[in-house]
Chains A and B, each alone.
Chain A
Amino acid sequence: MAMISATGTFDITSRPEPPFWSFDGVLLGRMEFDKVFHGSLTATSIVYMTYVRTPVESSAGYVAVEWVTGEIDGRSGSFAFLHNGVTTGGDLSLSVAIVPDSGTGELSGIRGSMAIENDAGEHSYTLQYEFTV
């Protein structure tokens, strides 16, 4: 069965915290985000992030867990994403995947992954998903 494609945009409100560790220009810190999704995904989420910054501006990383609650194509429930992003030479390599068996309600059994585009602060997404039986 082919994955279903859900697309739209989201808005972000961030709550940055100061770094909790630093050494020789390498910083670790936490951040939280609230997101509101529009489009095929009508939902809100909270993102819990830990980020890595380096003395080289174009080198960085972050990881996060995200809890999403709302509707996808009319089915309501919640699920979790894991984010793993590394920026090398300014190019972001990002994986955002649904945690296996994290779906609840009508989203029970959902699996898939999300691609995110950031066009000067305007975020759009493409969620590819399916349901396991």
Chain B
Amino acid sequence: MVHKKEKVMDRVARGEFFLDWNPEAPFDDAAGASLSRVTVTKSWSGDIVGSSVAHLLTAMSPVKGSAGYVAVERMDVTIEGRTGTFVLQHCATSAVRGDQVLTVTVVPDTGTEDLRGIVGRLAVTVQGRESPTDRGGRHLYEFTYGLP
């Protein structure tokens, strides 16, 4: 039996990121949802400083306001003086008659260098946006995390 020390998410980093949206042509544009790959590059400011590249898979419904995306995002950042890389995984849906749901978590054991062993989850507040795949608005983040 393996006893692992439970990692506690006892720190919070806050700030804003700016993004650059690079869509590829839809690869499946059947009568219903349109599926695409999109690469988003971000620059992070605040308690997290650095850059990231997010690889999105998007599903746009023909109904405006209903959509979803999933993504993996490789972070190359400094958080409160500690520098390294790690990977976030996103899943988001919005329904025109329903809620928007976004979960973003650190994939376990992806932390490197000073960020080895990082655990965490990211909350994003976007001001002025209709669906998770809209590009506009200010992106404010709150990253709740822990390090060994």
Contacts and interface: CB of A to CB of B under 8 A. Distances in A.
A67 B30 CA distance: 9
Interface in A43-78: 46, 48, 50-52, 54-56, 59-61, 63-65, 67, 69, 77-78
B95 to A, nearest CB: 4
| A21, A28, A80, A105: residue with the most chain B Cβ atoms closer than 10 Å | A80
Given A50-B57, A63-B72, A95 B95 contact: no
Given A84-B89, A95-B91, A99-B61, A78 B108 contact: no
Contacts of B42: none
B102 to A, nearest CB: 11
A100 interface: yes
B147 interface: no
Contact of A59 (B68, B91, B109, B113): B109
B125 interface: no
Contacts of A97: 68, 93
A60 B107 CA distance: 7
A102 to B, nearest CB: 4
Contacts of B4: 89
Interface residues of A, number: 42
B58 to A, nearest CB: 7
Given A48-B37, A80-B33, A100-B95, A23 B68 contact: no
Interface in B65-112: 66-72, 74, 85, 87, 89-91, 93-98, 103, 105, 107-110, 112
A88 interface: yes
Contact of B70 (A23, A26, A82, A100): A82
B28 A46 contact: yes
A103 B109 CA distance: 37
B57 A64 contact: yes
B35 A86 contact: no
A54 B93 contact: no
Interface of B: 4, 27-28, 30-33, 35, 37, 55, 57-59, 61-63, 66-72, 74, 85, 87, 89-91, 93-98, 103, 105, 107-110, 112-113
22 contacts: A24-B113, A48-B35, A50-B70, A54-B107, A59-B108, A63-B57, A67-B28, A67-B35, A80-B35, A82-B59, A82-B68, A82-B69, A86-B108, A99-B66, A99-B67, A100-B63, A100-B67, A101-B66, A102-B33, A103-B32, A104-B30, A105-B31
Interface of A: 21, 23-24, 26, 28, 46, 48, 50-52, 54-56, 59-61, 63-65, 67, 69, 77-80, 82-84, 86-89, 95, 97, 99-105, 132
